[in-house]
Copies of this chain bind each other. A is one copy, B any other.
Amino acid sequence: MNPIGNLNKIFESRIRLGVMSILMVNSEVNFNDLKQMLEVTDGNLASHLNTLEENGYIKVYKGFIGRKTNTTYAITTSGEKAFKGHLTALEHMIRFTK
């Protein structure tokens, strides 16, 4: 296998990378917090969250705080696996390329 073959195409985007790393250490984060942490427009964030969800890497919880809508996002076990896999692929690429 070539050195870049195990890199995950989904994680070529910094915003998706950022979402994943935030969700690796925070079990649940809502839309607005993600938006502020990453400093992106809401439309842009929504579309990236969408592709992460389509790939089964995050799951979405639509809930309420009182009577106000509150959408939170969490990483799935498959997402965790994929992200870790990507990171080790990165490491291998950097360390063992010869």
Residues of A within 8 A of B (CB): 2-5, 7, 9, 12-15, 17-18, 21-22, 24-26, 37-39, 87, 90, 93-94, 97-98
Complex Cα–Cα for A39 and B6 (A) = 13
- Tell me if A24 and B87 are in contact (CB < 8 A): no
A98-B18 contact, Cβ under 8 Å, with A38-B2, A38-B3, A38-B4:
no
Interface of A is mostly: helix
- Tell me if A21 and B98 are in contact (CB < 8 A): no
Q: What chain B residues lie within 8 Å of A24 (beta carbons)?
A: 94, 97
Q: What chain B residues lie within 8 Å of A5 (beta carbons)?
A: 39
A3-B21 contact, Cβ under 8 Å, with A14-B12, A87-B94:
yes
